[in-house]
Structure 1
Amino acid sequence: MTKPLTYLSLKAVFQYMDGNKRLELNFHCPALRSAESSVPLNLRSLILEKEKIVVNDVCYKVKSKYQRIKTVLDGRKHVRVEILKLHDLGVIPECLKISTRNLDSGNLDFEEVLPSINRSSFPLKELRVNVAKTQNFERYLGCSQILVPFVTDYDREKELIRRILFDRKSPYIVLERIGLTSDTTIALIQNWRNNQKEIGTVLTRQNGFRILPIFSPYVDELMDVLNGRIVFLNESVLQNNMDRRCLSFPFNKTSELVLYSIRDGPNEERRTKLEVMPIGSTGPGTLTDFFIELLILLCSFMLIMLIVLSLTAVAMDSIGKTTLAYFR
């Protein structure tokens, strides 16, 4: 007859068990609940919302606050999550503090979220937050290595975003659903020059240009005001899915400021980045680079001509039909 596992043996087994399997055992086997809950729960990702909980990509639909707590968090003392998305504060017991590296507080007030996060988690690796929901958010700018600020009304919160971009405590910022005018970009670059930002300081804008629009009023203004030039990234700094063509702005004797395009991030989306790089990270380019540039220009010209011809054909067809209808 097989002997049952002791309490200590159960705890050792739970320590290496998949998180979702542990939750199933906790819910269906009350006799094991005490041992399971006493072991730190380590999860890759946890999403807490009003109507559902998602643990390591497995969704648990819930009907009440009691069920939400009982399903995942009730009775636990230690929960560690690599990626935590906290969109409902009512789900977390008051005595529990979650340890995490990446926090998404959604549209919640960040100050109300803080009591639920273990102090040892700071500075966070990444923080995504609606900065307009938290008064005096500037005091928390140093609490994460990467800051992903967003606002629900950019026009109303434009000045707040400018203050966050200019603050020296935020070396790496990712703008989500926020575009920057040429005036704001110029003011930002001038601010970085005045404060002599260190190499590695980066501003990333999601949904950036696929290919930097070299021939555009936006870029022309940046180049004229900031003494920029069209260059190409050197092999030493190239990454996967990175366009070589870029803009370089003079910074100081050891650094240059580079505006470039890259496909990266969790979903490999296109992003535009402004980064302080070591001097010499860019160069004049090769014959291959100029050949590719020529092909891009030709393709762009052909695309514009096709659009013009299509619109002309539609307009002529419409005029023809109108004329026939008139004479009838």
Structure 2
Amino acid sequence: MPPPLSYPALKLVLEYLDVKKRYHITSRNCALQKIDKKIPLRVGTLIIWKDSSVSLDDLEYSAEYTKRKINREELLKIHVVNEKLKKYLEERPNIHVDHVGIYSVKFYEQVPVKLNLITNKLHTFCCSDFRNSLPMIDSRSFPLKKLKLTQEESIDVDHPIIHTTEDVIFQFSKRNELIRGIEKLQRKKLTIQNIMNGNVDAVRIIKDWMKNGREIGTEYLLYFPFNVGIKGVLKDLKREFDEFRNNLKGVNVRFLKRAPRFSIPMCPTLKIIIYGTEIQSKDRTVYQLVLKVVSTDE
């Protein structure tokens, strides 16, 4: 019979064991439970869906069982299993997660399991305000590597997390919802996806860059699902900056056909170039508008 694992070896095995296997193994062994609480729980993807469920890779807590048409005995059995899992998760001092997705949660109180998460990436989808999810995110997570916000309501960008996150993506789910204060955002890189009518005021962004300046290499990428969307924004830019239209010779890009391009002076050494292009994604074409600060030598 092989000798038992030493504590350091057992700790290492448990820490990197699949979360579902780890839960089922430790929940059946009192000795392991004492050790387990001291060892970080590591998860690839954690998804919170409304007030209904929390899934950690392939381990799931669900509150939906109360809506099933089953007998009382079976319902009680499921309730006991769920409450045991909920207790296990909420007792963790922290859970290390690569990617956290929070979907359709309007208020923090809705979250069915209260967790403390250390994460690299956060995506909120159709939540009233991404700040409502922050009580779950441990301060050691910041600055985040990636933040993606898909909101039904307007996004207020004046927040330290948006200022400091390495990669920020805004995405829209409906039209006529502006990103408030985006023109004042002091980010070098920004991606905005699924732009529809009334979501982004590109003219206001450029005017602020011209007035207050931005560092070289600042680049905003605006993605439109339909050609008509990018054409509308380019029309607004043409109306405001027609005198700065430029073919942008030397920029090695396949430009959007018959679309205006611009080179706008910002200071003696820097200029803003603006152009549209097509991007082929997995299943369709999207239209990209590039706003970029470059040297006047380019």
Is 1:178 the counterpart of 2:195? The answer is yes
Q: Name which of 119, 137, 141 aligns with 2:139.
A: 119
Q: Name which of 227, 237, 258 aligns with 2:274.
A: 258
Tell me, in whole angstroms, the C-alpha distance in 1 between the residues paired with 2:280 and 2:59.
27
Tell me, in whole angstroms, the C-alpha distance in 1 between the residues paired with 2:142 and 2:292.
25
Tell me, in whole angstroms, the C-alpha distance in 1 between the residues paired with 2:199 and 2:164.
29
1:157-172 equivalence runs, <5 A? 157-158=177-178, 161=179, 163-172=180-189
Q: CA deviation at 1:217?
A: 6.7
Tell me, in whole angstroms, the C-alpha distance in 1 between the residues paired with 2:192 and 2:26.
40
**Does structure 2 conserve the Cα–Cα contact (< 8 Å) formed by 1:83 and 1:103?**
yes
Q: CA deviation at 1:124?
A: 1.8
- 1:221 to 1:7, Cα distance in 2 relative to 1, 3 A: closer
- 1:194 to 1:174, Cα distance in 2 relative to 1, 3 A: same
Q: CA deviation at 1:191?
A: 1.8
Tell me, in whole angstroms, the C-alpha distance in 1 between the residues paired with 2:185 and 2:193.
20
Structure number with higher relative contact order (C-alpha < 8 Å, ≥ 6 residues apart):
2
Tell me, in whole angstroms, the C-alpha distance in 2 between the residues paired with 1:219 and 1:265.
22
TM-score by length of 2: 0.69
1:157-236 equivalence runs, <5 A? 157-158=177-178, 161=179, 163-179=180-196, 184-208=201-225, 219-226=234-241, 227-231=244-248, 234-235=251-252
Question: How far does the alpha carbon of each residue in 1:102-128 deviate from its partner, in whole angstroms, 9 at most, with x for none?
Answer: 112331543332221111222222223
TM-score by length of 1: 0.63
Amino acid at match of 1:81: V
Q: CA deviation at 1:11?
A: 0.7
Per the alignment, residue 32 of structure 1 pairs with 32
Tell me, in whole angstroms, the C-alpha distance in 1 between the residues paired with 2:229 and 2:17.
48
Tell me, in whole angstroms, the C-alpha distance in 1 between the residues paired with 2:199 and 2:96.
42
- State the aligned residue count: 266
- 1:192 to 1:16, Cα distance in 2 relative to 1, 3 A: same
Q: In percent, how many aligned pairs have the same letter?
A: 18
- 1:150 to 1:116, Cα distance in 2 relative to 1, 3 A: same
1:1-328 equivalence runs, <5 A? 1-27=1-27, 29=29, 31-49=31-49, 50-56=51-57, 58=58, 60=60, 62=62, 63=65, 66=83, 69-70=86-87, 73-87=89-103, 89=108, 90-93=111-114, 96-106=115-125, 107-129=127-149, 138-140=158-160, 141-150=162-171, 154-155=175-176, 157-158=177-178, 161=179, 163-179=180-196, 184-208=201-225, 219-226=234-241, 227-231=244-248, 234-235=251-252, 243-244=254-255, 247-252=261-266, 253-261=269-277, 263=279, 270-279=286-295
Q: CA deviation at 1:84?
A: 0.7
What is the DSSP-based 3-state SS (H/G/I as helix, E as strand, rest coil) of the residue aligned with 2:166?
Answer: strand
